[in-house]
């Protein structure tokens, strides 16, 4: 298959390398020193969880316009950069192209084909300009939840540090041929690709971890294992998760687990540096709007108080401003 990875950093680099290892025609959209290194010597994957380590010579560009129509487009950008990129993806997307946003936070397409009073609603924290639904027809989208960890440790060098699980599902909850095809493709590439009939519930399960662990990691400098070993910090995580669970339940997705059970899932990532800590260390903007701000927006719409989430959000925003990355 022809596959374009838009945002070939940590997560995108793992997708690209693993799919290339299975013989697919992979093109990478990247930028800066990372792009230059990939062009010069290929993309290096250091695989700590499998046997896909190697150097992969792949087409790479800063401009998605350089590549033609694709069978599969994986969007692995930071969520706050997607709106500006979507108009540039038009040449990649043909009538049957499948687009998989492998992103953190609540996705911009969340209320697409979601029945009920909020059907088609735009979440302002995700799409402040109101352009994203127009710039990419959501009929191309397959929902995706990423449950693996990766890091860019040097330009052109991606480390897959833990986990292999991906959950994919149709926004309308159907069991489609393209869902089976993409899960099969990713399974062959070494991922544990699971089909979901309720992708929004899976999004909420992941989001509860992201909205709590990520900003706390940015504030404390802790790796995942260090957060999980500090009971005082875990009390903050529990409070944020409890509030997030009330929001998800209000929108029809009650959690099938307690905060402590969700924390136990996070422990499986071991000593991973989760994404906002990586961003703090590299002085890159934090994904606060899609990961935390979106939940606050939905809580306001539902008139639900979320004081712990608001407090940590405010502190993380202040930390970003102090570092000049807000």
- Residues annotated as part of the active site: 206
| Non-local CB neighbours of 55 within 8 Å, separated by 6+ positions | 41, 42, 43, 44
CA–CA gap between residue 241 and residue 51 (Å, rounded):
35
Please classify residue 1 by burial: count the beta carbons closer than 10 Å to its beta carbon, then call 0-12 exposed, 13-18 middle and 19+ buried.
middle
Please identify which residue in the block is written with the tokens 């969700």.
262
State both tokens at 42: 């290929």
Kindly report the number of other CB atoms within 10 A of residue 266's CB atom.
Answer: 20
Q: Strands across the sheet with 59-61, in order? A: 59-61, 25-29, 2-6, 70-75, 93-101
Q: What is the DSSP letter of 131?
A: -
**CB of 75 closer than 8 Å to CB of 64:** no
Q: b/e map of 152-163 (b: 16 or more CB within 10 Å)?
A: beebbbbbbbbb
Cα(71)–Cα(84) distance, integer angstroms? 22
Sign of dihedral through CA atoms 144, 148, 149, 155? negative
Q: Are 119 and 94 in contact (CB under 8 A)?
A: no
Report the SS3 class of residue 279: helix
Spatial neighbors of 301 by CB under 8 A, at least 6 apart, are none
Q: Are 153 and 161 in contact (CB under 8 A)?
A: no
Task: Report how far residue 145's alpha carbon sits from residue 8's, in angstroms, rounded to the nearest whole number.
Answer: 17
């Amino acid at each position: 298959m022809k596959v374009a990875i838009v945002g070939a950093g940590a997560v995108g680099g793992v997708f690209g390398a693993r799919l290339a290892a299975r013989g697919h025609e992979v093109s990478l959209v990247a930028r800066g020193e990372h792009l230059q290194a990939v062009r010069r010597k290929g993309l290096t994957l250091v695989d700590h969880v499998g046997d896909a380590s190697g150097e992969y010579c792949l087409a790479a560009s800063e401009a998605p316009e350089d590549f033609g129509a694709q069978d599969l487009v994986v969007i692995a950008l930071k969520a706050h950069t997607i709106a500006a990129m979507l108009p540039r993806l038009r040449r990649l997307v043909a009538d049957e192209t499948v687009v998989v946003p492998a992103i953190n936070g609540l996705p911009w397409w969340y209320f697409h084909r979601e029945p009920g009073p909020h059907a088609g609603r735009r979440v302002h924290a995700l799409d402040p300009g109101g352009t994203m639904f127009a710039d990419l027809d959501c009929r191309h989208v397959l929902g995706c939840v990423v449950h693996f960890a990766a890091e860019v440790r040097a330009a052109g060098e991606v480390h897959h540090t833990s986990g292999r699980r991906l959950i994919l599902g149709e926004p309308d909850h159907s069991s489609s041929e393209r869902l089976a095809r993409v899960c099969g493709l990713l399974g062959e590439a070494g991922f544990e690709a699971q089909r979901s009939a309720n992708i929004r519930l899976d999004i909420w399960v992941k989001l509860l971890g992201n909205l709590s662990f990520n900003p706390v990691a940015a504030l404390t400098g802790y790796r995942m294992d260090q957060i999980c070993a500090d009971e005082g910090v875990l009390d903050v995580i529990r409070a944020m998760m409890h509030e997030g669970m009330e929001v998800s339940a209000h929108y029809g997705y009650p959690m099938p687990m307690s905060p402590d059970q969700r924390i136990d899932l996070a422990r499986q990532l071991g000593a991973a540096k989760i994404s906002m800590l990586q961003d703090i260390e590299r002085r890159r903007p934090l994904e606060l709007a899609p990961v935390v701000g979106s939940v606050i927006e939905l809580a306001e719409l539902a008139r639900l108080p979320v004081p712990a989430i608001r407090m940590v959000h405010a502190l993380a925003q202040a930390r970003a401003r102090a570092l000049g990355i807000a």
